């Protein structure tokens, strides 16, 4: 069994870009306080906000699970504090899952990517 996870904390100001669409993921993020926007095509005229996430929300998991670049950018909408789990810790926890559940999670990620 993996050791107890150690999250690290970081604070972001309004407008900070936390994750950039197209970059590979290296962490899972948990929102402690504040709010972020999940944005597709951040730097184009086709910019679209897909979701807003607040305390308890997570992001970064898709890229960690399938090794693909981030499907969207994450931007702080206000002062935001995040806890992050490293990619290695995330994979250690995932590897403890039942293989059938791992397959179901992968299937869900694949379906989600097809619809973004």
- Classify residue 1: in a domain, yes or no: no
Domain count, the chain: 1
Q: What is the pLDDT of residues 43-75, one digit of tens each?
A: 888 999 999 999 999 999 999 989 999 999 999
**Looking at the domain assignment, is residue 3 inside a domain?**
no
Residue at 90 is within a domain: yes
C-alpha angle 23-25-29 in degrees, rounded to nearest 5: 125
pTM of the model: 0.82
Is residue 1 very low, low, confident or very high in pLDDT (cuts 50, 70, 90)?
Answer: very low
The CATH number of the domain holding residue 82 is 2.60.120.10
Residue 80 is assigned to a structural domain of this protein: yes
**Which residues constitute the domain of residue 109?**
8-114
* Total Cβ atoms within 10 A of residue 42: 18
């Amino acid at each position: 069994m993996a050791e107890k996870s150690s999250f690290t904390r970081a604070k972001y100001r309004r407008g900070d870009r936390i994750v950039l669409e197209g970059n590979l993921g290296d962490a899972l993020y948990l929102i402690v306080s504040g709010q972020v926007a999940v944005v597709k095509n951040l730097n184009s005229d086709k910019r679209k906000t897909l979701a807003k996430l607040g305390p308890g929300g997570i992001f970064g998991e898709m890229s960690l699970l399938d090794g693909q670049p981030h499907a969207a950018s994450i931007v702080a909408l206000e002062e935001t504090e995040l806890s992050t789990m490293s990619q290695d810790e995330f994979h250690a926890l995932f590897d403890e899952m039942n293989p059938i559940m791992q397959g179901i999670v992968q299937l869900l990620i694949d379906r989600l990517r097809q619809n973004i």
